[in-house]
Structure 1
């Protein structure tokens, strides 16, 4: 059934309000701290009711991490587009490297990263989102390895995706500790090389 002009207008309005509430909340988080900012604070600053807030976000954590789900889809598409000549590890790393990042300056990214790694509830939600990424990315890695989709005993694809995502998380934490002075990409590659080297030595 075709979308009507009124439905399109409503969707654009909803997206605009969603983005405005997110911007307002992030500003408060960076100014006051994530845990010190309440949902009521966000609603008041955004000029909406508490009830309206929950029409756009399920939790405060979703404001910070909500776009991770969408980013996972972008990474999946990039992974599927990688050349067939790339092995599973290389294709996955290149997909992560070439997927566009949020349009934030380095200083803001570092602030958000410090908030993420310093807040247990955000950390837990971040790991939960990475599990969603794993579900999205594993089928393509299985295909590249020649593993049948219904083969429950071949764990190589699951292990590779889990390792790379863990390396990404470890590298992100190290990048944050260094105040962004190190290259995040180099840290990810170093972490992955350590895992692969350990596996080869075993």
Structure 2
């Protein structure tokens, strides 16, 4: 249920907060102890909730991180949607990384890297990560259509969304697995430049 203005109701906001609290707790435990060593009971106890409440929000342990993945999706889409439509895509993505929300997520880089390793190496979680990536592509399509002037059904716009998400995913995974990683924003810029996404955006306009 939402308000007449389309904003979540108080009940829904509380549900979202609980989901995110469970997700952040699970992320911390997975990063510190490892996925296999962390039980549902551990997550529920650390989050201060009952097992019944945990299963009300998550069907299984591997579902606990879903809000972390989807919140990142929404934040990037929101940032890109707010950038000038004629701005090069590489600059817009870099600005999204510099936004306070992104900076907060990467405030503890070691923790973030451990979490990405978990997401990439645990098959059940990786499946959900890939699904989140597809969801991000779908959310980006109208944003990229507005930036290019093409329709949302354009193959070029869909390919641009796919290229952007793949570049971000590979850059983040590369960053997470390096012993002495470069700055993640710089790695992302390199990935986008390698795929020439600014040229792809210009081509989609054509």
Does the TM-score normalized on the shorter chain lie above 0.5? yes
Q: For residues 94 and 28 of structure 1, what CA distance do their matches in structure 2 show?
A: 30
CA, structure 1 residues 86+44, in 2 after alignment: closer, same or farther (shift >3 Å)? Answer: closer
The reply on whether 1:185 has 2:182 as its aligned counterpart is no
Report the Cα offset of residue 24 of structure 1.
4.1
Aligned residues: 191
- DSSP 3-state at the match of 1:130: helix
| Residue of structure 2 in register with 1:196 after alignment | 196
| Residue of structure 2 in register with 1:159 after alignment | 159
Contact 1:21-1:42 at 8 Å conserved across structures: yes
CA, structure 1 residues 64+21, in 2 after alignment: closer, same or farther (shift >3 Å)? Answer: closer
CA, structure 1 residues 168+27, in 2 after alignment: closer, same or farther (shift >3 Å)? Answer: closer
Report the Cα offset of residue 28 of structure 1.
3.1
Q: For residues 147 and 13 of structure 2, what CA distance do their matches in structure 1 show?
A: 39
The reply on whether 1:168 has 2:172 as its aligned counterpart is no
The reply on whether 1:49 has 2:50 as its aligned counterpart is yes
The reply on whether 1:143 has 2:150 as its aligned counterpart is no
Computing the radius of gyration from Cα coordinates, the structure with the larger value is: 1
Q: For residues 128 and 21 of structure 2, what CA distance do their matches in structure 1 show?
A: 22
| Residue of structure 2 in register with 1:118 after alignment | 121
Contact 1:110-1:180 at 8 Å conserved across structures: no
Question: What RMSD, in angstroms, separates the aligned Cα atoms of the two structures?
Answer: 3.1
Calculate the TM-score normalised by the size of structure 1: 0.76
- DSSP 3-state at the match of 1:144: helix
Once the two structures are overlaid, the 10-residue window that deviates more, 179-188 or 120-129, is 179-188
- DSSP 3-state at the match of 1:186: helix
Q: For residues 2 and 146 of structure 1, what CA distance do their matches in structure 2 show?
A: 32
Calculate the TM-score normalised by the size of structure 2: 0.75
Gap runs ≥5 in structure 2: 201-206
Contact 2:23-2:67 at 8 Å conserved across structures: no
| Residue of structure 2 in register with 1:76 after alignment | 77
Q: Which residues of 2 match residues 11-30 of structure 1 at below 5 A?
A: 18=19, 20-30=21-31
1:36-65 alpha-carbon deviations (Å, 9 max, x no partner): 322234334545432221223343233334
The reply on whether 1:31 has 2:71 as its aligned counterpart is no
Gap runs ≥5 in structure 1: none
**Higher RCO, Cα 8 Å, sep 6+:** 2
Contact 1:24-1:46 at 8 Å conserved across structures: yes
